[in-house]
Amino acid sequence: MKETTFAAIFDMDGTLIDNTPYHFKSWQALYKKYGKGELSKETYYKEISGVPVMETIRRVFGEGRTDAQLQDLLNEKEEYYRHTYAPFLAPLIGLENFLTELKNAGIKMAMGTSATVADIDFVLNKIPIRNCFDAIINATMVTKPKPDPQVYLKAAHALNILPENCVVFEDSLAGIKSGINAGMKVVGITTGHTRAELEGAHVNLVIDDYSDLTVQKIAALFER
Q: Are residues 69 and 99 in the same domain?
A: no
Q: Are residues 61 and 155 in the same domain?
A: no
Q: What is the pTM of this model?
A: 0.92
Residue 207: the pLDDT is 98
Q: Are residues 109 and 168 in the same domain?
A: yes
Question: Tell me: the pLDDT tens digits for 46-93?
Answer: 899 988 899 999 999 999 999 999 999 999 999 999 999 999 999 999
Last residue within a domain, chosen from 54, 87, 120: 87
- The set of long-range contacts for 67-73, using a CB threshold of 8 Å and a minimum separation of 24, is 73/30, 73/34
Last residue within a domain, chosen from 63, 87, 111: 87
The alpha-carbon radius of gyration of the chain (Å, integer) is 17
Residue 224: the pLDDT is 75
The domain tally of the chain equals: 2
Q: Check: CB of residue 184 under 8 Å from CB of residue 10.
A: no
Last residue within a domain, chosen from 35, 54, 87: 87
Assess if residue 145 is contained within a domain. yes
Q: Are residues 126 and 198 in the same domain?
A: yes
Using 50, 70 and 90 to split pLDDT, how confident is the model at 95?
Answer: very high
Is the sign of the CA dihedral 59, 63, 66, 68 positive or negative?
negative
Q: Are residues 78 and 173 in the same domain?
A: no
Q: Are residues 212 and 102 in the same domain?
A: yes
Domain carrying residue 61: 20-87
In single-letter form, the type of residue at position 218 comes to I
Residue 179: the pLDDT is 98
Q: Are residues 77 and 111 in the same domain?
A: no
Question: Tell me: the pLDDT tens digits for 17-31?
Answer: 999 999 999 999 999
Q: Are residues 49 and 98 in the same domain?
A: no
- DSSP code of residue 169: E
Q: 32: domain CATH number?
A: 1.10.150.240
Question: Tell me: the pLDDT tens digits for 148-190?
Answer: 999 999 999 999 999 999 999 999 999 999 999 999 999 999 9
Q: 192: domain CATH number?
A: 3.40.50.1000
* Rounded Cα distance, 102 and 110, in Å: 12
Q: Residue 110: enclosing H or E segment and its boundaries? A: strand 108-112
How wide is the angle at C-alpha 50 spanned by C-alphas 4 and 43, nearest 5°?
140
Q: What is the mean pLDDT of residues 113-123?
A: 93
Q: Are residues 78 and 151 in the same domain?
A: no
- Residue 70, Cβ density class (10 Å: 0-12 exposed, 13-18 middle, ≥19 buried): middle
Assess if residue 2 is contained within a domain. no
* Rounded Cα distance, 43 and 92, in Å: 25
Assess if residue 205 is contained within a domain. yes
Assess if residue 129 is contained within a domain. yes
Residue 92: the pLDDT is 98
